[in-house]
Structure 1
Amino acid sequence: MAAALAREIYGPRHNPGTAPDSLITTGGTESNQLALLLARETHGGSVRLVCGANAHHSLARAAWLLGLPDPVVVPAPAGTLHPAALDEVLSHLPGPLLVAATAGTTDAGLIDPLPEIAARCAAHGARLHIDAAYGGGLLFSDRHRTRLAGLDTADTVTLDLHKLGWQPVAAGLLAVKDRRDLTALRHRADYLNAADDTEAGLPDLLGRSLRTTRRPDVLKLAVTLRTLGRSGLGALVDQVCARAREFAALIDEHPGFQLHARPAISTVLFRPTGATDDTVAAVRRALLTDGRAVLGRARLDGRLWLKATLLNPQTGPADLAALLHLVAARQATLVEGHTTR
Structure 2
Amino acid sequence: MNNQTLKSTTVLAKNPQYLYDDIFHEDSNENYKKAIQIARTCVSNFLKDNKTPFSGIKPEALQSIFNTIDFDKPLESYESLFEEVETLYVNHATAFHLPNYIAHLNCPVVIPALAAEVLISAINSSQDTYDQSAGGTFMERKLISWTGNQVGFGTDCDGVFNAGGSQSNLMGLLLARDYYAIKYLKHNIKIDGNPPEAKRFKIFVSEKAHFSNLKNSSLMGLGEQAIIKIKTDDRFRMIPDLLEKAIVKEQKSGNIPIAIIGTAGTTDFGNLDPLYDLGKIAKAYNLWYHIDAAYGCGLLLTNKYRHLLNGIESADSVTIDYHKSFFQPISSSAFIVKNKLHLNIIKHHADYLNPKDQDYDELPAQINKSIMQSTRRFDALKLWCTLRLLGRDKLGEYTETIIETAKKTAVMLDTENDFELLSHSDLGALVFRYRPESNKAHSTCMMNQHIKKTMFFSGEVLVASTKVNDEFYLKFTILNPITTINHTKNIIKTIRSYGQEYLQAI
TM-score by length of 2: 0.63
Cα distance in 2 for partners of 1:220, 1:336 equals 50
- The CA distance in 2 between the partners of 1:332 and 1:234, in whole Å, is 39
- TM-align CA RMSD: 1.9
Distance 2:284 2:273 in 1: 18
What SS is found at the alignment partner of 2:336? Answer: strand
Match of 1:31 in 2: 168
Q: 1:174 aligns with which of 335, 353, 358?
A: 335
Unaligned runs of 5+ in 1: 14-18
Answering whether residue 176 of structure 2 is matched by residue 20 of structure 1, we say no
Q: Distance in 2 between matches of 1:261 and 1:72?
A: 24
Among the aligned pairs, what percent are the same residue? 29
Confirm or deny: 8 A CA contact 1:2 1:218 kept in the other structure: no
Is the partner of 2:325 in helix, strand or coil? coil
The residue that corresponds to 2:207 in the other structure is 53
Picking from 66, 72, 77, the partner of 2:228 is 72
Q: Indicate the residue corresponding to 1:310 in structure 2.
A: 478
Residue 245 of structure 2 is matched in structure 1 by: 88
Query: Residues of 2 paired with 1:42 and 1:161: CA distance?
Result: 27
Deviation at 1:63, TM superposition (A): 0.5
**1:50 CA displacement:** 1.5
CA contact (8 A) 2:304 2:400 kept: yes
Gap runs ≥5 in structure 2: 1-142, 182-188, 190-197
Q: Deviations over 1:206-264 (max 9, x none)?
A: 21212112211111111112222221111111010011112122223333323223222
Deviations 1:275-308 (A, max 9, x none): 5011112211221122122211133366322111
Structure index of larger Rg: 2
Q: In the TM superposition, what is the alpha-carbon distance from 1:85 to its structure 2 partner? A: 0.7
For the 8 Å contact 1:28–1:160, the answer to whether it is kept is: yes
Structure 2 residue 177 is the aligned partner of structure 1 residue 9: no
Structure 1 CA distance for aligned equivalents of residues 311 and 460 of structure 2: 40
Q: Select the residue among 247, 266, 288 that pairs with 2:409.
A: 247
Among candidates 41, 63, 68, match of residue 178 of structure 2: 41
Instruction: Confirm whether residue 228 of structure 1 aligns to residue 365 of structure 2.
Output: no
Q: Give me the whole-angstrom Cα distance separating, in 2, the residues matched to 1:64 and 1:200.
A: 36
- 1-structure distance, mates of 2:450, 2:208: 25
Q: 1:110 to 1:228 in 2, by over 3 A?
A: same
Which 10-residue stretch deviates more, 302-311 or 34-43? 302-311
CA distance in 1, matches of 2:291, 2:475: 23
Q: Distance in 2 between matches of 1:57 and 1:199?
A: 36
Q: Distance in 2 between matches of 1:201 and 1:178?
A: 21
- Alpha-carbon distance between aligned partners in 1 of 2:267 and 2:167, rounded to the nearest angstrom: 16
Residue 306 of structure 1 aligns to a residue in which SS? Answer: strand
Question: Partner of 1:100 in structure 2?
Answer: 261
Matched, 1:219 2:381: yes
Give, in angstroms, the shift of residue 196 of structure 1. 6.1
| Counterpart AA for 2:473 | W
Change (3 A) 1:199 1:234: closer
For residue 139 of structure 1, report the CA deviation from its aligned partner: 1.2
1:57-97 alpha-carbon deviations (Å, 9 max, x no partner): 00011000001252122222531111111111111324351
CA distance in 1, matches of 2:229, 2:266: 15
Native 8 Å contact 2:297 2:325 kept in 1: yes
CA distance in 2, matches of 1:167, 1:228: 12
